[in-house]
Chain A
Amino acid sequence: MTQARRIVGQPRRRVDGRAKVTGQTRFADDIMLPRMLHCRLLRSTVPHARIIRIDTSKAAAVDGVHLVLTGEMFPIPYGILPVSHDEHALCRDKVRFVGDPVAAVVARDEVTAEQAVNLIEVEYEALRTYATPAESLAYPEPRIHDYGDHGNVHKAVALQFGDVDAAIDGADHVFDDVFFFEGSTHLPLEQHASVALKDPDGKLVLYSSTQTPHYLHRALAKALAMPAAHIRVIATPNGGGFGGKSDPFNHEVVVAKAALILDRPVKICLNREEVFYCHRGRHPVLMRFRTGVTNDGKITGLDLQTLLDGGAYGSYGVASTFYTGALQTVTYDIPRYRFRGCRVFTNKPPCGPKRGHGTPQSRFGQEVQLDKIAERLNMDPAALRLGIVAPPDTLTANYLRIGTIGLADCIRKVVDRSGWNEKFRKLPLGRGLGLACSAYLSGAGMPINWNDLPHSGVQLKLDRSGGVTAFCGATEIGQGSDDVLVAMVAEVLGIEPFDVRAVTGDTDLTPVDLGSYSSRVTLMMGNAAIQAAERARDILAAAVSAKMDIPVGRLVFADSRVFDSQNPASGVTFQEAVCIAEARVGTIGTTGSYTPPKSAALFKGGGVGPSPTYSYTAAVVEVEVDPENGWVTVPRVWIAHDIGCALNPTLVRGQVEGSVYMGLGEALMEEQAFRRLPAKLSNALVHKFPSMLEYKSPTSLDMPEIFTDLIEHPDPNGPFGAKEVGQGPLLPIMPAVANAVYDAVGVRVDQVPITPEKILRALQAKADGKPARSGPASFPDIAWPETLHVRPPWEGGDGRASNEPERGTRRKADAGVEATAGVRS
């Protein structure tokens, strides 16, 4: 029954394309319901304080106000990770950053709600404010949270794979570099919005711009102490996510509670300033890379330390911390490795997952250091990387299983296409080329709530009309997940995408998919969809075979027909096939599900990093740097991405170009930065510029030409061989820009964003005979916990740490019904 592919691999209009260009895609704020009320939040004006008193009486007295809510009504904490349920929908005893929600008003319209919010009086008792990780490390008291490793350290981890000190000490060269990656935010065009209501049966419904309806479902059940079966979460298509809509948010819990109390629909739409406070974006990371290298450019060992500025709450932070150290070994052959990471709390909006989640920061450090290594060894940076590309079909030192790896092909492609050999170190002053590579997950191998349940499920309903409905909890955030779902089903069943209807992101109607994060949807939902469609095809084939006396093995599903491959005229329409099958076996529905392969990493912390397969990217960026004013322009980018198989090349190209765009923003201008107000005001730590005008992001005028190449060696774990593309192509851009700036003007900017000021500072240092560099001077001494020792596979290791107590209860702890309660560290 194998047949030529008719949909997969063809550039195609996405299934939701028409809705998007006609303005008919219904985002959360587009939902307007009869009797709907509006909610506004009062947010903290101080960065760290105890709440002494809240007086809501004036607000409650305003005409048109229906409800005023405070933290007293939200006793149960929640959070995205079971180990850090540290958020309350409204602050109860203290506030932890400027923007932390303290109270809420529900009123007949937004204007009334806003007026009433401004009448709420809050008395604060100020506490020491922690603006930087250095301050959080220096002062353990007062603690921002009463959980975490100690003081204001949220989490510190130390893992070692083999004798890395001996490996580095015995190397021909040792490179020791410190880098800093400034935080940046997602800046989705759509401001977060939610509408909650009690349905006619009295159950809770929440429409929300969330990337993770399943996790929101669980959080609501916990925070509101309600059975999850009585809560329906509907993820509306997201107007951009990039990781910023992956946590359960205060406003979602607040409007849900309000709708339950008032029995009326309640809407909230955040304003742009509030979106900056929700954040959950890129962690600022200080990092130190000590790398041992042989004379011919092989890595003997890597000793990496990272310090993450976590902001005020846990969010995904523990995972983010591990991610800063997870994927180095998946990219390059690193036989011995030590990773130590530390996340501290500070009084700023919480950081979390932004496109690349924890990996772009250390990717920046590693790729810039490789550029320095190549120069010192007098090697070409591309040749150096080609010599250390991780081998396929192996376990890495930290027990990540690499399957297919197209990185070498990616490097060769961008070298060839960019004219690298003719240009690198050969362009005139002010022009330069830089190269960098990366790897990324095609879906996290471990779920957030550890259990044995599938990560993605798809149900199909085959209708007598010949139409097929595909149900899946996956969430359309612009990446094209609905299109992948429909394409998989249509391809397998030999019908048109237009004959398939996608119903997605609805916890009442759709089987669970864990959400649109970690680049997991194409691979996991895609495999589940293929399984469901193949099961449907088998049912139809058996029925048609019996009815028409054609062996099942000769039946072809194509062109909306089911026919005999040896006599194509002999067959039935797809619709007839459905009817024949339904008459034979009854109503036709099938399911498919996907669970990733078991990980080989059995040590504590090994849950972050495993993936069914990894994507790879190489990029060459060309820059022009004006040595007079430090201004950087990027005329051209060449990028090659190992995607396995491009299911819809139009959308794949869009993900690659969108990643380049976002990477250039991070490389050159984007900063989620903070400042203190003058002492005569309040000395409060505030966001530097919570507006789209001042938070600079690239416009159409800033975009380079982008030359995209796709490397397509189908991966056995991907649907039709596909890997991820949403995040990986962002990763090499920032270091490639830094390396290109060095090629152009001979100075190292070891931090992002690479602003004109930093380039000028480095040029001035160079002119003064100092190191031609702008970047952090040192990495602080951190009291690391006991290092877990795991022997690499080639040293006889079994994936466990030799000095760790027996584990095993944790995986069974959560049956997936109720989120693990409480706070564990």
Chain B
Amino acid sequence: MKTLMIKTHEVWLEMLMAGFMSHTAKKQVLFDFSDILFRHFTWLENELIELGESYSYDRDMIPVKVERLDDILKDIVKRLDDIDLQLLGSPDKALSSRISSDIAYMRDVLKNMDDEVVTAFNMARTYPGVELTQEATDALTLFLFEESYKEYELIMIYNYLKAHSNDAYMNRIFQILIDESFFHLKSFGDMMAKMGLLAVPRVVMKELYQVEDVVQFLKDGINEELAAKEECKRLAEAVSKDSEEMAKFFDFINHQENYHIALMEDALAHYTKGRDV
């Protein structure tokens, strides 16, 4: 079951990367499939928790650098085949059957997808329709690497907290934050692919998501959101001379952080209520 969860984690990310690579309407299909695989991942995680088995979010590095979309789609199909085989030994037959049926459909769709040339790794560092100065390009490059990892990290942390909490109030907040981080990750990943800089976020260290002190985590998280707001503001200023549209986008992301901070403050107040902290 642990291996199944790790393999599902890997194929979820690979499918997401394939979505970033596509320039056509297939992009949305691949994103939808990656969302489905993320849900599989959370269900398998829940199974492990119910069985009382320890687990982590460790996984192998995922090689995604390809020149044709077909290459990555073939690799995804191979990984899905492996998962399907491993499902035979899974104790929860209803869950296995659901995952297996999703895999059968996804595999069929992937096998019939048209090929595309992939430009997501060409390191061109140009953004379609925008001419950025070298300074703005460098600032944007660093921001995208830093923040795409950060959003993945947040997804994993909030997901772990949610998986180990039975508090509906906290879980509602965690789910909103997961959804928000997914939106940011998809936005930044898409920009990275357009600039030829696509990369799989690195593995998150255990001590980050296996949170021992939720209060401290929330306090640190609020400070990190404040820092992220400043980063967005700085970046909006750096690109504003070259692209009003891009500056507006980063202002929009900056303003979204306000709600994240409010949610985390809310979670902190709820969590500490009646606790001696």
A binds B: no
